[in-house]
Amino acid sequence: MVIPPKSIPSGKPLPSTPTPPAPFLPAAPQFRYSALVESAVDAVAIITCVLLEKVHLTVEELLALLPEVRKYFKETTTTKRLLALRTAGAHMVSTYSFSVGQDLLEAEPTLPLRTLDMILDGTIPVTGILDSGCQVVIIRRDVWEKLGAPLKHKRVMFMESANGQANATMGTLPRIWFTIGEINLHCTVQVIREAPFKCLIGWPFTALAQAVSQEFQDGTTHLTLTNLNTGASITVPTQARESPLRKHHLPVLPDRIFTSQ
């Protein structure tokens, strides 16, 4: 007996047979080509050394850097198109015009040294010559005798003048009190027997006072001094020290004194 197939109502889709899952396959490995010589070399550091100075490279470093070197030089030497931005003040031109008959400013042939009035140990007024090129602070023998301060005669220093002569100082005053206005500074002082000045204000003083000098064309100088212990700061004018030789327009040797211990 033949069994007839079941009739399927019109308009309905035939049932689909489920598709069996695809078998799992492991991903194919990815490869890249690399030389073992490139693994332990810092390319950026080596390229920086090459650009800055002459270096000696090993064959290993040279072979490892070839790809990076070519790429770096290509990027840095290739011309690129850049956007030009115009901003206010970006293009500044300074022009100077001088008429035919206009006199140009020139430096004076010579200018006098500058001096500063001060009081030593609160009792002795002196006029000190400013010389930041001198390595010590110096006073003359007669000024020390007026001070009456004990002199450490074993702590001497050999002084070399501009003409090459060398002489030993009489000794050292470890702590002398310099007063300018409300500024009080303590400095170590060298005492010498003879000098064309009473006091020479050298580098130790100007360094301690953090001196700031404002100089003008005619030689006038204003000096700003600061007491680091109190924070007080003042600005004082300096005076010109005229030499008799300079008044008669005669050449003079510098009074600067250099020291060597």
Confidence of residue 248 (pLDDT cuts 50, 70, 90): very low
For the cut 50, the answer to whether the pLDDT of residue 134 exceeds it is: yes
Is 5 a domain residue?
no
Q: How far is CA 58 from CA 17, 135, 219, in A?
A: 69, 51, 61
Residue 163 has a pLDDT of 63
Is 174 a domain residue?
yes
Q: Mean pLDDT over all residues of the chain?
A: 77
Q: Would residue 222 be called left, alpha or beta, if left means φ above 0 and alpha means ψ between -120 and 50 degrees?
A: beta
Is 88 a domain residue?
no
pLDDT in tens, 35-48: 666 666 777 777 77
Is 212 a domain residue?
yes
- Structural domain count of the chain: 2
Beta bridge partners of 257: 161
Query: Is residue 72 located within the same domain as residue 168?
Result: no
Residue 26 has a pLDDT of 67
Query: Is residue 70 located within the same domain as residue 142?
Result: no
Is 163 a domain residue?
yes
Range of the structural domain that residue 163 is part of: 113-244+252-260
Is 182 a domain residue?
yes
For the cut 70, the answer to whether the pLDDT of residue 133 exceeds it is: yes
Query: Is residue 122 located within the same domain as residue 68?
Result: no
Q: 20, 55, 77 — which closes off a domain? A: 77
Cα–Cα nearest to 126, from 203, 195, 41, 28: 195
Query: Is residue 152 located within the same domain as residue 65?
Result: no
Question: Tokens 């080509």 map to which residue?
Answer: 33
Q: What percent of the chain has pLDDT over 70?
A: 64
Is 23 a domain residue?
no
Per residue, the 3-state secondary structure of the chain, as one string, reads: CCCCCCCCCCCCCCCCCCCCCCCCCCCCCCCCCCCHHHCCCCHHHHHHHHHHCCCCCCHHHHHHHHHHHHHHHHHHHCCCCCCCCCCCCCCCCCCCCCCCCCCCCCCCCCCCEEEEEEEECCCEEEEEEECCCCCCEEEEHHHHHHHCCCCECCCCCEEEECCCCEEECCEEEEEEEEEECCEEEEEEEEEECCCCCCEEECHHHHHHCCCEEEECCCCCEEEEEECCCCCCEEEEECEEECCHHHHCCCCCCCCCEEEEC
Query: Is residue 44 located within the same domain as residue 125?
Result: no
Query: Is residue 124 located within the same domain as residue 217?
Result: yes
Query: Is residue 43 located within the same domain as residue 166?
Result: no
Q: How far is CA 70 from CA 63, 76, 103, in A?
A: 12, 10, 58
Q: Give 141 or 3, the one with higher predicted confidence.
A: 141
Is 40 a domain residue?
yes
Confidence of residue 184 (pLDDT cuts 50, 70, 90): very high
Residue 250 has a pLDDT of 43
The radius of gyration computed from the CA coordinates of the chain, to the nearest angstrom, equals 43
Query: Is residue 71 located within the same domain as residue 140?
Result: no
Residue 56 has a pLDDT of 72
Query: Is residue 58 located within the same domain as residue 121?
Result: no
